[in-house]
Amino acid sequence: MMDDVNFWLGYLTNGKHLTWYASFQFTIFAAVVGGSLAVVFGLIGATLKNSRFWPLRLIGSTYSSIVRGVPDVLFFLFFPLAFEQGVEWVMASQVCTPDTIAAQSAAWPPCKEANWFLGTPEYLILASVSLGLVYGAFATNVIHGAMRSVPRGQLEAARAYGMTARQVLWRIHIRQMWIYALPGLSNVWMLIVKATSLLSLLQIADIVLWADRLGAPNFLPAVGLVHEDWRWRYYLVLFVFYILVTLVSERAFAALMRRAGRGILVEAR
């Protein structure tokens, strides 16, 4: 009995497991930064969509419809790669000489000096930005719809009080918009949380990659077979982890909803 407990305590705190626990930081970072950026891009997109100047309006609606029309994983892979190539292209125009270009045999980058090596931190930031871009398109629609559901009377009353257009926007329109946007934003947040499971596609050693490594059949020459294929157990842990995150997020959004709804009639929602 005691041996069992000792084995499990030792097993679950060995170096690889500690690395696994530490890798949760990548997931949390991507979710939090991606979520914040999604709200920022959503606000920008909704403002563009509401613009009186039609080219801006066109940019806003093109952004929200194109990005939502393709799978999130496609954009998630495309954006970091495209960004990296863009930077390398700019670098190449600065550092490459005809000699180094002639010496380069691979198709990309143009010369060896223009190669930009991306480590985990860079990929993590790029992944967060692309999460923000993808789900910002969803947030654009949510916020655009919420801006339109603010009762017109409220805005007219504010204008009648002599507020400027900017004051009406910031003090009345955006303040009252949240109560209509929160249910939709909560959905966007759930999508972002679920999309953080894709980080391993960008070579980030995140929780999914470590679950795969830890679960693979473990053979040590000194002790023999420690365990056979346990991958499904590790994935089950992640499955439960994500469900718990969803549960906690739901609670948090319910609390936020109550707070944002203070002083607003229930019928008005």
Partner 1 sequence: MDRLLTEIGLFAPAVVFNIYFAAASIPLGFVMAVFLALGKNSTNPLISRLSRGYIYAFRGSPLFIQFFMVYSLALSFNVGVWKPLGISWFVLHPLFIGPLVLVLNTAAYTAEIFYGALRAVPRGEVEAARAYGMSRRQQFRHVIWPNLIRLAWPAYTNEVVFLFHATAIVYFALPVIGQQKDLMITAKELFERDYNAFLHFSVAALYFLAVSLVVFFLFGLVYQRLMRHLPATPGMRFAPKWIR
Looking at the Cβ atoms of 74 and 95, the one nearer to partner 1 is: 74
How many Å apart are CA 83 and CA 81, to the nearest integer? 5
Segment interacting with partner 1 (CB under 8 A) among 2-10, 47-55, 100-108, 153-161:
100-108
Q: Quick check: 145 and 183 in contact, CB under 8 A? A: no
Nearer to partner 1 among residue 71 and residue 151 (C-beta): 71
C-beta closer to partner 1: residue 43 or 206? 206
Count of residues in the chain: 269
- Our CB check for partner 1 shows the closer of 69 and 162 to be 69
Q: How far is the CB of 164 from partner 1 (least distance, A)?
A: 31
- C-alpha–C-alpha distance, residues 245 and 229, integer Å: 27
Contact call for residues 207 and 27 (beta carbons, < 8 A): yes
What residues form DSSP beta bridges with 227?
218
Cβ closer to partner 1: 131 or 158?
A: 131
Buried b (16+ CB within 10 A) or exposed e, 158-174: beeeebeeeebbeebbb
Instruction: State CA 198 to chain mean position distance.
Output: 10
Closest CA to 34 of 116, 137, 109, 153: 137
Question: Could you say which of 18, 73, 95, 165 contacts partner 1 (CB under 8 A)?
Answer: 73
| Among 49-57, 70-78, 96-104, 122-130, the segment contacting partner 1 (CB under 8 A) | 70-78
**Binding piece for partner 1, criterion CB under 8 A, among 4-12, 52-60, 67-75, 154-162:** 67-75
Interface pattern 237-256 for partner 1 (x via CB under 8 A): -xx--xx--xx---------
d(CA 32, CA 114): 32
Residues 159-218 that bind partner 1 (CB under 8 A): 184, 187-188, 190-191, 194-198, 201, 208, 211-212, 215
User: Which residue from 63, 141, 210, 214 is in contact with partner 1, where contact means CB under 8 A?
Assistant: 141
Residue 68 within binding range of partner 1, rule CB under 8 A: yes
What part of residues 2-61 is at the interface with partner 1 (CB under 8 A)? none
Question: How many chain residues touch partner 1 (CB under 8 A)?
Answer: 48
| 42 Cβ contact partners less than 8 Å away, ≥ 6 residues apart | 136, 138, 139, 140, 142, 143, 185, 188
Helix axes 54-69, 24-50, angle to 10 degrees: 140
Residue 126's CB is within 10 A of a number of other CB atoms, namely: 19
User: Contact 101/111 with Cβ under 8 angstroms?
Assistant: yes
CB-wise, 165 or 248, nearer to partner 1? 248
- Could you list the residues that contact partner 1 (CB under 8 A)? 66, 68-75, 77-78, 81-82, 85, 106-108, 138, 141-142, 145, 184, 187-188, 190-191, 194-198, 201, 208, 211-212, 215, 228-229, 231-232, 235-236, 238-239, 242-243, 246-247
